[in-house]
């Protein structure tokens, strides 16, 4: 069989909800192998945008000159050719680069007939614990709405949950009364979730950098009775001194780093131990190889890794292949309940058992994408 060589790079978008779509990169070789990576971006955040989807598609295609003619096994050559472009191009370009990198791993695994996890050092587990991020599935954003979805996720077997209950906290000009009302609403949402699921289920909160350091500390203290597993990004984690200050003044563990690129992006958080858990995302951090290196760096500093992954099923497949090889990865994120047809996009479908995702034994990322 001739050595596979990259012949084309394409981008696809799957329409999901008004809150966001899923974006993918597809690499095809001259002998018919197809590799997939997920390029779902974080630009819209609370809204889907055709313009943003077009921009990510163009960014994916922009890496064709660095990929054309490469073997899937020339991963480092691609990184050397394209890393500088990704590094200076911002989040969208870094996401496109990361998707193409995932797709190279998918092709390499297929060419060798082995799962990507075996190429990354071998699995430590065959099923990775996950937590259900119920945020995008929760359209009724009252405390009762969050509580109802939390209870449903637990009924499905998940033993850890997360939500972004402060997304409506004002970030522009507002009165102290408005800020207090929104902070109190977020706290009541988490209290309702805790009451709905009982004391044995882990709860986490993503604050999406809505607060300043003072309010971060105040809210964390008011949340102590909820017993959070972690308190995520109350301020932008690139503000390392503020993040460290918050960590030193609260009882809960801190987590963050979901949009950082490369080891150098995470190094300040790790050197200062400003967080207890870092959250590299295979869609943004530089892909699977860089994710492995970031995790090894975190292990050096005694910091856990929980990959950020509130996205589509292909990102879950890639993240699970990586997470299964990491000794310092206690749990992986899952975007729970966003759409009922999610499982139809993969062949074979993703499978969750007792709050864990069971890794596929198929070659590459373990699944074929079946676009709608």
- At 125-134, the pLDDT tens digits run 999 999 999 9
Per-residue pLDDT band at 45 (split at 50, 70, 90): low
Contacts with 236 (C-beta within 8 Å, 6 or more apart), sequence order: 209
Higher per-residue confidence, 2 vs 209: 209
Per-residue pLDDT band at 18 (split at 50, 70, 90): confident
Q: Is the pLDDT of residue 158 over 70?
A: yes
Query: Nearest CA to 208 among 173, 182, 188?
Result: 182
339 and 204, same domain (yes or no): yes
- Domain stops at, among 113, 146, 175: 113
Per-residue pLDDT band at 20 (split at 50, 70, 90): confident
Instruction: Please give the average per-residue pLDDT across 246-263, as a whole number.
Output: 98
Report CA Rg, the chain: 20
Q: 1 lies in a domain?
A: no
CATH number for the domain harbouring residue 60: 3.30.390.10
109 and 156, same domain (yes or no): no
Its pTM stands at 0.96
Q: What pLDDT sits at residue 37?
A: 98
101 and 132, same domain (yes or no): no
Q: What pLDDT sits at residue 75?
A: 97
337 and 320, same domain (yes or no): yes
E strand or H helix at 59, and its extent? Answer: helix 50-61
Q: Which residues, listed in sequence order, are joined to residue 127 by a DSSP beta bridge?
A: 358
CATH number for the domain harbouring residue 160: 3.20.20.120
Q: 286 lies in a domain?
A: yes
199 and 128, same domain (yes or no): yes
Asked about 208 being catalytic, the answer comes back as yes
Cα–Cα distance, 177 to 182 (Å, whole number): 9
Q: Give the number of domains in the chain.
A: 2
Q: 71 lies in a domain?
A: yes
307-332 pLDDT, tens digit per residue, is 999 999 999 999 999 999 999 999 99
Strands 277-278 and 254-256: parallel
Cα-based distances in Å from 231 to 77, 183, 249: 38, 14, 12
Q: Is 116 in contact with 364 (CB distance < 8 Å)?
A: yes
Q: Is the pLDDT of residue 48 over 70?
A: no
Q: Which of 208, 284, 334, 367 is catalytic?
A: 208
Cα-based distances in Å from 335 to 55, 232, 323, 362: 23, 16, 16, 23
Supply 270's token pair.
Answer: 């790790």
Count CB-CB contacts under 10 A for residue 12.
Answer: 17
Range of the domain at 68: 6-113
108 and 156, same domain (yes or no): no
Asked about 308 being catalytic, the answer comes back as yes
Q: Which of 41, 308, 334, 367 is catalytic?
A: 308
Supply 203's token pair.
Answer: 């709860």
């Amino acid at each position: 069989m001739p050595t596979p060589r990259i012949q084309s790079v394409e981008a696809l978008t799957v329409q999901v909800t008004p809150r966001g779509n899923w974006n993918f990169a597809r690499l095809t070789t001259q002998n018919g192998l197809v590799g997939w990576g997920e390029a779902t971006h974080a630009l819209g955040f609370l809204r889907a945008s055709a313009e943003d989807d077009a921009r990510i598609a163009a960014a994916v295609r922009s890496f064709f000159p660095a990929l054309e003619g490469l073997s899937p096994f020339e991963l480092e050559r691609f990184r050397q050719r394209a890393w500088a472009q990704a590094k200076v191009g911002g989040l969208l370009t870094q996401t496109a680069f990361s998707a193409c990198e995932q797709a190279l791993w998918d092709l390499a695994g297929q060419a060798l007939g082995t799962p990507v996890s075996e190429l990354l050092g071998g699995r430590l587990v065959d099923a990775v614990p996950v937590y259900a991020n119920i945020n995008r599935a929760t359209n009724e954003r009252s405390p009762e709405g969050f509580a109802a979805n939390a209870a449903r996720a637990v009924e499905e077997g998940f033993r850890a949950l997360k939500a972004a209950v402060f997304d409506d906290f004002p970030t522009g000009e507002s009165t102290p009364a408005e800020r207090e009302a929104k902070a109190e609403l977020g706290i009541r949402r988490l209290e309702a979730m805790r009451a709905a699921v009982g004391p044995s289920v882990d709860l986490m909160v993503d604050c999406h950098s809505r607060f300043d350091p003072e309010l971060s500390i105040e809210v964390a203290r008011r949340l102590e009775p909820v017993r959070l597993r972690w308190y995520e990004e109350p301020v932008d984690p690139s503000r390392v001194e503020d993040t460290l200050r918050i960590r030193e003044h609260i009882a809960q563990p801190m987590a963050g780093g979901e949009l950082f690129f490369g080891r150098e992006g995470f190094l300040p958080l790790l050197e200062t131990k400003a967080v207890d858990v870092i959250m590299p995302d295979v869609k943004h951090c530089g892909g699977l190889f860089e994710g492995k290196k970031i995790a090894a760096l975190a292990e050096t500093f005694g910091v856990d890794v929980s990959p950020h992954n509130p996205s589509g099923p292909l990102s879950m497949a890639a993240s699970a292949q990586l997470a299964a090889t990491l000794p310092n990865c206690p749990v992986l994120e899952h975007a729970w309940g966003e759409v009922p047809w999610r499982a139809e996009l993969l062949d074979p479908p993703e499978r969750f058992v007792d709050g864990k995702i069971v890794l596929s034994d198929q070659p590459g990322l373990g699944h074929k994408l079946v676009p709608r």
